[in-house]
Structure 1
Amino acid sequence: MAHQQHQETLNVLHECMEACNHCFDACLKEDDVKMMAGCIRLDRECADICGYLEAAITRGSAYVSELASVCAKICDDCAEECAKHDHDHCQECAEACRKCADACRKIA
């Protein structure tokens, strides 16, 4: 299985997807949801691309490098947005996104 060489990246991608999904859900429960709109939007984008890249790696897609590059960009953007908010879920998401962006750049 070709994806076994990327097991660490798969783990990081999955953790990032989970952190983004948790942040997304928690942001929807905040008092000022409108203020969290950018964070919510990027959480969705990031979770989706992380899940897609995870699937692409496991099936041996020829586009892993390109997808990893896009994933790193989205993770960077999500980390930057989440870091603007003091909520624990946003700070945890920002950290997971930074870690994921770094992992993605290594395979891009």
Structure 2
Amino acid sequence: MDLKKCIEACQRCAVACETCITKMVDMGGDSACIEHCRDCVAMCQLCAMAAARESNALEKFCKLCAELCETCAQTCGDMEHEHCQECAKACRECMDVCQQTATSCCG
């Protein structure tokens, strides 16, 4: 099990979501996009920390992280802005890695 992949995917996703939030706020943009990005950032940070410490609850963290990443990817993916598309891509990648980690770490 490669927890480094999970940590790095979560960190990339959190950065992409923070960038999206900043640009959307500057534009006076869509509140659903901002809300989903905020949830995603928070969960990605928690998941990365849980993976780093090899938490006994890692499967739960990864499953919830994947779920929130999927929601964010759908919301941002529907937007035309380049930063939203980049965010959606990072969210989909993080979702995939977190799903794999949840399966491989814990059954």
SS of 2:2's equivalent?
helix
Work out whether residues 14 and 44 of structure 2, in 8 Å CA contact, stay in contact via their aligned partners in 1.
yes
SS of 1:16's equivalent?
helix
Q: CA deviation at 1:49?
A: 0.2
2:84 is aligned with what amino acid?
A: C
SS of 1:62's equivalent?
coil
Q: What TM-score does the superposition give when structure 2 sets the normalisation length?
A: 0.91
2:10 to 9, 13, 18: 13
Identity of aligned residues (%): 31
Q: What TM-score does the superposition give when structure 1 sets the normalisation length?
A: 0.90
Q: Which runs of 4+ in 1 moved over 3 A?
A: none
Q: CA deviation at 1:41?
A: 0.2
Q: Which runs of 5+ in 1 are unaligned?
A: none
1:23 to 20, 37, 41: 20
* Structure 2 equivalent of residue 72 of structure 1: 66
2:65 is aligned with what amino acid?
A: C
* Structure 2 equivalent of residue 99 of structure 1: 93
* Structure 2 equivalent of residue 84 of structure 1: 78
Work out whether residues 6 and 51 of structure 2, in 8 Å CA contact, stay in contact via their aligned partners in 1.
no
Q: Which runs of 5+ in 2 are unaligned?
A: 103-107
